[in-house]
Structure formats: C-alpha cells, structure tokens
Amino acid sequence: MRENPRRRQHQEAVVRQRLGQPEAGWRQRWYTIIFEADTREGRIFDVALLLAIVTSVMIVMLDSLPALNQRLGRVFTALEWMFTLLFTAEYVMRLLVVRRPWRYALSFYGIIDFISIMPTWLAFFVPELHFLIDVRLLRLLRVFRILKLTVYFEEAEILYRALVNSRRKIFVFLAAVFIITVILGTVMYVVEGPEHGFHSIPVSMYWAVVTLTTTGFGDMVPKTPLGQFITSLTILLGYGIIAFPTGIVGAELAASIMKRPLTTRTCTHCLTEGHEPDAQYCKHCGSQLPAYQNDRPEVPGGRDGATGP
Amino acid sequence: MRENPRRRQHQEAVVRQRLGQPEAGWRQRWYTIIFEADTREGRIFDVALLLAIVTSVMIVMLDSLPALNQRLGRVFTALEWMFTLLFTAEYVMRLLVVRRPWRYALSFYGIIDFISIMPTWLAFFVPELHFLIDVRLLRLLRVFRILKLTVYFEEAEILYRALVNSRRKIFVFLAAVFIITVILGTVMYVVEGPEHGFHSIPVSMYWAVVTLTTTGFGDMVPKTPLGQFITSLTILLGYGIIAFPTGIVGAELAASIMKRPLTTRTCTHCLTEGHEPDAQYCKHCGSQLPAYQNDRPEVPGGRDGATGP
Amino acid sequence: MRENPRRRQHQEAVVRQRLGQPEAGWRQRWYTIIFEADTREGRIFDVALLLAIVTSVMIVMLDSLPALNQRLGRVFTALEWMFTLLFTAEYVMRLLVVRRPWRYALSFYGIIDFISIMPTWLAFFVPELHFLIDVRLLRLLRVFRILKLTVYFEEAEILYRALVNSRRKIFVFLAAVFIITVILGTVMYVVEGPEHGFHSIPVSMYWAVVTLTTTGFGDMVPKTPLGQFITSLTILLGYGIIAFPTGIVGAELAASIMKRPLTTRTCTHCLTEGHEPDAQYCKHCGSQLPAYQNDRPEVPGGRDGATGP
Amino acid sequence: MRENPRRRQHQEAVVRQRLGQPEAGWRQRWYTIIFEADTREGRIFDVALLLAIVTSVMIVMLDSLPALNQRLGRVFTALEWMFTLLFTAEYVMRLLVVRRPWRYALSFYGIIDFISIMPTWLAFFVPELHFLIDVRLLRLLRVFRILKLTVYFEEAEILYRALVNSRRKIFVFLAAVFIITVILGTVMYVVEGPEHGFHSIPVSMYWAVVTLTTTGFGDMVPKTPLGQFITSLTILLGYGIIAFPTGIVGAELAASIMKRPLTTRTCTHCLTEGHEPDAQYCKHCGSQLPAYQNDRPEVPGGRDGATGP
C-alpha cells in the first residue's frame, strides 16, 4: 500500500530505462531539462510549463464568456495558438530527446500530452472542439512529480486501492443500478407517457438515473398519481441501493486505516510489536522499550505508521 | 461467506438433480446445450442467447423513440415478434428437456424466462405492455453463470448478506420514514394547501419522500414562510435519519470486510485455513498450529486473502 | 445495549406498577383487555384497535383528495367522527381502569393517545386541524408490543443508541450548519438580492438549508456569476460538512456491530471466551469446546450473539 | 485525543500569559470581567454579551424582511448602530485592558471581534455590507467557554481531528472533483451550447458542481440526447467519487471511536489509565497491572468510557 523512498527511486530508474534515456550530447542535456526536475533548469522548465498550462486553460474559459469573447476574441485566439504551438514544440522535443519515442508516445503522460494539443489543430475542421483543450488540465498531474508531493501520491494510492479492492462490488452495484434504470425508465414511460415529458425510454432512463441518485433536476417529473406512487417507492428502495457506494468505499477505507499498525515498535525482550507511540514499557513483558523516533512529526498520533526506522 | 469451488460443483449437481436431468437421447443432448455451458455447443447457444436478449431490449428502446418509430415501426414490431417467438420456442424447449418441468417453471430463472415472453403476448390486449419486455434484461443474470464469473457472485453475496444482516434495522428505518412522511405530508397539506400545489395528502406525501431523500425535484415547493421553516427543520432532521441507510450498510460491509479470514494459516492436521493470527491450536481439530509468520507487511492483513496456495 | 427477556419482563412489571394496575373487579378485567395482549380478548382488542387506527388515517387521506371529497365528503366526516368518538371512549376507559390516571395521561403512550383525539375536537374552531388526526399513526408504535416484535425493539435500540452516543457530535454539527446557514443566507441575500428571488435573509436561509443538504428544489437559484461561484464553493465545502452525519452514525453503528462478541462460548479449560460459532477446539489451549447451541438460527453467523441460552 | 482538565487549565494559563494579563489596577479588574467567566461580574458580562449578539443578529434578519423594513426600518437602524457602538466600545476596552493589544487583535477571537463591528462602519460606503454583521454569530463560539461546555469542545475536537487526519485525502478528492468539473463543464458547453442555457464554461462548471454533488437545482438541464447521456454517465461516475468524503470522514471517525480507551484500567503505580484489555504491564512505568475485570457486559467495550472513577 505504501512505497518507501528507495522503491520509488528504483521505479524512476525503471521509467528512465523504459523510455530510453540518451547517454550524452544535447539530447542528454535536454532530456534532463524536460523530463527531470532535479536540476535548476529542469525545475524552471517545469514551473514555466505548469504556468503555461494554467494560463492556457484560463484563456479558454474566459474566451467562452460572451462579453469577453466579443471584445477580446482575437487576442484569445492568438494566445491560444501561441500556447498550442509552444506545447506542440515541447511535444516534438520530448519525442526527439527520448531514445524510444513510441514508448513515450504510448505512456500515460505521453497520451495526455498528445490529446492536449490535438483540439486546437482539429478545430480547423470542427470549430467547437477548440474548447476541449481544457483537457490540458490533466497535464497538471505532473505537479505531483515536480513538487515532490509523494505524500499525496500515497494518499491518492489509498483512495485508489479502496476503489480497486471494491471494484467487483462496484461492478455488481452498477449492474444492479443499470437494470433498475432500464426497468424504471420503461415503467415510467408506460405510466406517464410522452404527454408528461417522458418522450421515449432512453429519456425516461435519463430521468431514472437523475432520480435514483437523488439529483432530481425537476425537468421531468411524474404527474399521474400512479407515477408519483411508483416514484416514491423507487426513490426509497433506490435510496437503499444508492447507499452502497458510500458504504463500500467507506468500509474499505476504514479497513485500510484501522489495519495499519500503530507503530512497528518492537519489544527487544519478548519481540512483540505494534506498541503505541507513547508507550515506554512493553505491555506484555514489562521490559523497557527503546525510545520512539518518528521522522514524520506532522502526522498526529503516528497514525500513518512510519514504516522506516 | 465465500464458497470454495468444490462446494459450488456440488451445488450444481444438486440443481441438476432437482430439475431432473434426463439420462440419454435427444433430450439429454439438448439439455446439455440449453442448460449447461461446458460443451462447445452449449457455450455457442448461451452467447447467442445473450446477444438475442440485448438486441431485443435495444429494439424496444429504439422503438420508443418517436423519430425512429415513425420510420421503422413496422420493422421493429416484426423483429420484436421474431424474438418473442424465438424465446417462446426456447422456453417450451426448456420445459421439454427437463424431466420435472414444474420444478424448472417455478425456479428463479424459470419465472424470469416466463415473464420475459409474456408482455408481447399480453400486448394483444393492452398495447402499452409490449414495452415491458425490457424485463428480459433480468435474463442477463445468466451471464454470471456462462462467463464463470463466480467471483462476482461472491461479491454480490457479500452485498446481499449486508442487506440481510441489516434487514431489521432497515425495516425500523423505513417504518420511521413512513410515519415521518405521513405526518410531514399532512402538516404541509394543512400549511401550504391546494393553492400552492399541495392538492391532497397523498400528493404531499410524495413531496415529503422527494424532499426527505434530498432528491428535491422542485415541482412542488413550500411558498409560505411557515412552510419554508417547517421544510428547513424537517430536511435537517430528516437528513440525520436519511444518513442511517448508508451508516447501516457501511457498518455491515465494514464488519464483513474486517471479519474476512485475516491469514492463510493452515492446520497441518485437518488442512482447514483462515485461522486467526493469535490462535495456537486449530479450532477444528485441536492440533497445534505452526507459528504464524506474516511476510506481507505492505498489504495490510492479507486483505486480498488468497484462498488457494 | 441489549436487554435479555427477563429484564424486559421486569420492566413490564414496573410499568404495570407505575400505572397502578387495579387488583380486581371490572376494572381489573378491562385493564387486562385494554392494556395487555396476553389474553384472547386483549389480543382481539389490540388488533381491532390497530385496524381502526389504520382505517381512520386512510379516511383522512382519502378525504383530502378533491375528487373523493366532493362525492363522499359527508360519509368521510361521519366516519371520522365515529372513530374519534370510539377513540375518545377508549381514552376515557383507559383513564378509568388504571389506578393512577395522571401517571397514564402523562406517559409516552398516554400523550400520544390524547393528541390523537384532539384534532377532531379542535376542528370545531380551526377546521384545517382535522387533517392532523394523522398523528394517530404514532399509536401504531403499539404494534411492536402486540406482535411481540421485541427483536425489532432491540434493533431500534441499536439505532437509538448510535444516535445517543453521537448526540454531542450531532449537536456540534448542527451548530456548525446553523452558523453556515445564517452566513451563507446573508451573503446570498446581499449578492443576489430580492430581484433574483432572495427576498429576505430568512428566505435565503431556507435556500441555504435546501442547498447545503443537496436537496436543491430549484425554486430559488443564484443568477449572478458571483452568486454561482459562491454557491459552487459552498456546496463543495458544505458537502464535506454534510458528510458528517453519515460518518458519525455509520461509525457508531460499525463500532456497535464490531464490538459484539462473536459468541459467548467459553472454553471449559482455560476460560477464554468469544470463540467462533464453528470452532470445535479452543484456539488458546487446544481443549475441546462444548457443542454450540444457538437458539436463534435465522441470524447468520451468530452475529447477534445470543446472550443467554 | 481527549485532554484532561489539568492540561486545559494549563492551556488557559498559557493563553493568559500570551495575551499579557495586567497585574493590578482597573485594567486587572476589567480584564477579569471581560476576559474571564469565573467571577460573578464576569459571568454577567458574558451572558449580557451573548444576548446582545443574538439580538443584534435577529435585528439584521428582521430588517431584511420587506414588510418589517418599511414600518420599522428606522428603529432597526438605530438599534443596529447602538449595538455596533456597544461592540466597538467593548473591542476598544479589550484592547486597553490586555498588556499586549496586538497579540489579542491578531488572535482567533480578536479577529472575529474585529470583523464583527466592521460591516456597520463600512456600510457608510457600501450600504449592502451592513447585512454582513451576521458574522457576529461567530462570536457565539464563546458560548462554549462561558458555559464550560468543554465536553463539546472534545467532541468538536474529534470531528476536527477526523478532518485533519483526512486533509490530504480530501485535497486529492477536491483536486479530482475540480478537474472533473472543468472537463465536464467544457464538454457540456460544447454539447449543449448557449441555446440550452450553458452560456459559458464557468456557468457550465457551476452546473457541473451542482450536478456532481447531486444537488440538481434544475435551472440548467441537458436537453440534447447526447447531453443527457453524458450527464447520466457522469452522475453515476461522479456519484462514486462523491461517496468518498463520507467514506473518508466516516472511516476516520470510526477509527477514532474504536481507538478510544477501551478500559478504565489504571496503573496502581503511576496512575495512568486506559490500558488495553490484554496488557499485563503498564506501558508507562513498566509495573505490573492488576488483572482485568470487566463487569459491564451490556455496554460493549466500555464505549462510554468514563474517564473518572
């Protein structure tokens, strides 16, 4: 569940090897700047990149405001193209400096980098697409790497692990919701009919999802007494079903939190472990425990149970 | 809570015996094709069946779209009848090849198979009913059997067990919600009255359910200050009550997750496994257990608890 | 948390004594019929009472439907008065047959019985009040006593205990919600103003409650960009806060479920207890356990941990 | 997690020292009245202060009601100014009687006291701001101190601790929600467009937040089939994501509840308490603990955990 620093370093080395880091020359130099964040140039490059991403997304948002679009539309378009050209250049550069470009192009970040520059180019043909350059936001995931926010990675990993552990339960749940949605949608289509806004089964299914998740837009509502009765029953039943995701995820998280050992402090005499952070004597044999050293003092109560010494 | 493969095989044998598998002849042959999925023909039959189910449900949905209905209504009706005739033939076949047809007809899948073909026939008399052939979707539950997705069955069983364990709490909760619904509905009917859309107590109860579950369609809203005050109080109180299903289900799930066998410790004498970490003697045969060694510290408590070696 | 049968019997005796059961004569006879459910007459009386309650509530509901009210209004009024006279007679009877009428009149059920008959009488002065006889529904709580559904009482007690254990957390939570509601309501009143439907601070507070609980009727919505921005932030922040009731209740319930001993089976040799239902040998000393006798077989896994034999 | 009384007293002394309590004279006298609540005058002052706060907030609310504002607007304004002058005088007094005024002015309560009086003064320039004196409500937090409701402080601390412990998970969650909001908002802006109410990307993001949190006002709804399909998928996916806050908070609370001292076992040597049921030696001083006797089997695990004898 949690990786120690050494294992992470090892992983980075593996990544470097898979992408094929060039040994020397200008490609080696640029590789260090673009792909790594340990040198001064690399750090500057990464921060500049983050700022450029945020700025370009802001511009797209502002561009969508009718008032601003009328006055500054041309400026926005120019800036957008500037950023797209920059990002395209950066993407080409990344392809050039790695030894195995396909490996990079097909990696997680490689695909995100690619779809970040596509919308503007595709907007030649389908103008609306240019708004989709908002997907550039996904590039911000790099921020974790640059700012060395590995502790957030670990927390995200706990959440991710909780999702993975409950993937089958969630699948069963989604299948149940889907079947309920289809049947409820059909029943309401038959009961309410097009004259009350339930124009077709797919539209009724949209209503069923909106209702079962307790979103309740109110654009379509049951008007017949029978429809209102069925809706009341379904909401109550569905409410029980819809309680499952929270229960599933919460249970997994609770399990992961509670199964962590308080500490790995071990009694030097009877070798029992898991003593609490404030214990001074072994609770099993009464012999003195070695002093507790927690090198992550910001985590209260040693809950995050330091795995290292 | 989790069944081992042997027990499952045994169950399948029991099912076969209950339905009365014929010993030989064409009925034996067709029994293998229709009811089982271990031969090549059986697998082809099952996959074809699944495709037919999905297709027939898709057709019903598309048929409900006004635009498509006008153009392709006749085609859809024809296809619908074709599928219904197919499924009816299949149902008759199933009745013929088992030795005890009533056993099958009254079994879980037998009933689903029956109500899957009824709507089209009943639509002779009540035309709207033909949309209800969407219940065919329930036949998709066979997909679990065909794809040997027994692991999903186990997860569904955990969810189902959580529901069963909390059935009394949920009953108490539903009773409380029902009484609150009636009283809130009546109070709002008195306070708001028909002029603000609360035409009768049943309609107000529908509103109360929609409000208490935080769905909030907005088709009926309190307009008087007193009504808004009562609504505010009720939502806050009801919000606490409505938190119970999640809490109940989550607590049961957490209990079931945490009570899963913590170890894979196996008794060297009777080969039972899943003994607790602090056990010293096998709880089944009383022989001494080998000392416990846990070498997977990163996966807390062996959660993924491999049952096999 | 759970009462054993003896303690419950004792409580009933205490109740009887507090209300002052008459020793003999017609009052003794009627006391047994009206207050108890162990004789044949008592059971018949109670079932008739429940039916009368449900019928009278149904009549009030049907009476509120405009279509039925026009046609059957007189019949409904007559029936309503009949039931009210019946219940009034019953209430007077209850007062007569107990030795300490005030004790009964001020007890939980005594108050419910009283406010169940009031609305019809008060409706002489305020006609709308007659709908409030729906509070008669609360008398249905007796159903638990009559049907000897003590197991449901226990489950309700677990839920109630979870509420009691978390009462201070819930108070802190409600105080936080109240302060957020006032401030958010004021801010939105200032930002949106009467022209967008936020006519006054109390109305804005109603909107804030509806929004923070994710009910979202949609009768009042922010229309200015600033208002929509504040709403977005508040919903997200409020969503975290609103997650607390579920978390609080769920955590308490999980604690109560998990702290129950699996069983109270005790090893006759080393006197350790809490052995699992399927254990045959003590896991601590290896000696044979006495056979497990669970007299509540419908509860899977002995989770409800039989307390006595 | 829970502070004992001595530690709290110590903290109060620390606070007193930090703010700089004057040694003698009228400042000493007024310091005791204004800042402390242990003398009779101090208690009277604090209760009067609380009443003034509540009254002034009530007046602001009533002032916002159009009907009352027209009739009593002048009275309200006069009262508002009276309270503001009072609170300003109190604030100045507080500054005068402490020895280090800046320490107070920059402390938690000092800032709240300051922003409580600002709005009325600023309303000279921006009239709408005068409603914001509702933030005075925050001053009510003092109620905890005055009424010695330290037990509520402890419960609030548990909730606060649960928030702090899960701050990183919540940050990861909020980042995920933000990215989903931007992308969903952009996609819906492209799919639905201004003609269906999605006038710009920021407005669409507002809609995305309202939808993902299942609030669903209904002021903006998808009208195209594609938009409804994307909405359905997103709600279901988002519902899973939105389940996280509850799960995270609930898991932390469950952990904190279950980790509360399980027993009141007290070391006979060093008098520390809360030792675990299976402990044999005091973890603080290493002396042997008396054998554990639990005579409260109906309250599982001593949950109400009396800390005193």
**Residue D222: predicted pLDDT:** 92
- In a domain, residue C1? The reply is no
- In a domain, residue C299? The reply is no
Say if residue C82 is in the same domain as residue C163.
Answer: no
- In a domain, residue A6? The reply is no
**Residue D94: predicted pLDDT:** 87
pLDDT band at B222 (very low <50, low <70, confident <90, very high): very high
Q: Where are the beta strands (DSSP E) in C100-234?
A: none
Residue B100 φ then ψ, to 5°: -120, 85
Domain edge (last residue) among D127, D152, D177: D152
| C265: three-class secondary structure by DSSP | coil
When pLDDT is averaged across residues B6-29 and rounded to a whole number, the result is: 62
Find the domain containing C142 and state its range: 21-152
Round to whole Å and give the CA distance between B285 and B283: 6
pLDDT tens digits, one per residue of A169-221: 777 778 778 888 888 888 888 888 888 889 888 999 999 998 988 888 888 89
Domain edge (last residue) among B258, B273, B302: B258
Residue D190 φ then ψ, to 5°: -70, -45
CA distances in angstroms from C170 to A274, C166, D224, listed in the order given? 33, 6, 43
pLDDT tens digits, one per residue of A73-104: 888 888 888 888 898 898 898 888 888 888 88
Report the half-sphere exposure of D185 (CA within 13 A, side-chain side).
25
Contact yes or no for A151 and D169 at CB 8 A: no
Say if residue B275 is in the same domain as residue B190.
Answer: no
**Mean pLDDT score across all residues of chain B:** 74
Query: Is residue B265 a contact partner of residue B256, using CB atoms and an 8 Å limit?
Result: no
Say if residue D39 is in the same domain as residue D140.
Answer: yes
Share of chain C above pLDDT 90, in %: 3
Of the ranges A106-110, C26-30, D126-130, which one carries the lowest mean pLDDT score? Answer: D126-130
User: Closest by alpha carbon to D208, among D195, D197, D225, D220?
Assistant: D220
**Residue B133: predicted pLDDT:** 67
Q: The domain spanning residue A44 has which CATH number?
A: 1.20.120.350
Say if residue D234 is in the same domain as residue D170.
Answer: yes
**Residue D261: predicted pLDDT:** 46
Q: Which residue reads 């007094």 in tokens?
A: D93
Q: Which of B62, B155, B199, B244 would you mutate first to test chain A, the one with the most A CBs within 10 A?
A: B155
Contacts of C among chains (3+ CB pairs under 8 A) = A, B, D
Say if residue C53 is in the same domain as residue C138.
Answer: yes
Query: Is residue D21 a contact partner of residue D181, using CB atoms and an 8 Å limit?
Result: no
* Tally of structural domains, chain D: 3
- In a domain, residue C298? The reply is no
Say if residue C42 is in the same domain as residue C125.
Answer: yes
**Residue C303: predicted pLDDT:** 36
Domain edge (last residue) among D137, D152, D167: D152
Beta carbons within 10 angstroms of residue B17's beta carbon: 11
Say if residue C86 is in the same domain as residue C30.
Answer: yes
Round to whole Å and give the CA distance between C138 and D193: 52
Say if residue B28 is in the same domain as residue B147.
Answer: yes
When pLDDT is averaged across residues C103-124 and rounded to a whole number, the result is: 82
Quick check: ipTM above 0.95?
Answer: no
pLDDT tens digits, one per residue of D185-236: 888 888 888 888 898 889 999 999 989 888 888 888 999 889 999 999 888 8
Contacts of A among chains (3+ CB pairs under 8 A) = B, C, D
Residue C216: which of A216, A247, A254 has the nearest Cβ?
Answer: A216
- In a domain, residue C302? The reply is no
Say if residue B167 is in the same domain as residue B137.
Answer: no
Contact yes or no for C232 and D301 at CB 8 A: no
Say if residue B118 is in the same domain as residue B184.
Answer: no
A227: nearest CA partner in chain B = B206
pLDDT band at A245 (very low <50, low <70, confident <90, very high): confident
How far off is chain C from B68, nearest CA to CA, in Å? 34
Say if residue A40 is in the same domain as residue A132.
Answer: yes
DSSP annotation of C234 reads H
- In a domain, residue C101? The reply is yes
* Contacts with A236 (C-beta within 8 Å, 6 or more apart), sequence order: B174, B177, B209, B213
**Radius of gyration in angstroms for the set of CA atoms belonging to chain D, rounded to a whole number:** 27
B216: nearest CA partner in chain A = A216
Report the half-sphere exposure of A253 (CA within 13 A, side-chain side).
34
D211: nearest CA partner in chain B = B215
Q: Where are the alpha helices (DSSP H) in chain B?
A: 5-19, 25-35, 40-64, 66-97, 101-105, 108-122, 142-146, 150-165, 167-192, 201-212, 225-258
Virtual torsion, Cα B172, B173, B178, B184, nearest 10 deg: 130
Q: Where are the alpha helices (DSSP H) in chain D?
A: 5-19, 25-35, 40-64, 66-97, 101-105, 108-122, 142-146, 150-165, 167-192, 201-212, 225-258
D-chain CB neighbours of A210 within 8 Å are 216, 231-232, 235
Round to whole Å and give the CA distance between C239 and D154: 23
- In a domain, residue A285? The reply is yes
Q: Which residue reads 């001074």 in tokens?
A: A280
Round to whole Å and give the CA distance between D285 and D306: 23
Residue C254: which of A214, A216, A254 has the nearest Cβ?
Answer: A254
Beta carbons within 10 angstroms of residue B67's beta carbon: 9
Say if residue A88 is in the same domain as residue A129.
Answer: yes
pLDDT tens digits, one per residue of D23-69: 567 778 888 888 777 788 888 888 888 888 888 888 888 888 888 88
- In a domain, residue B309? The reply is no
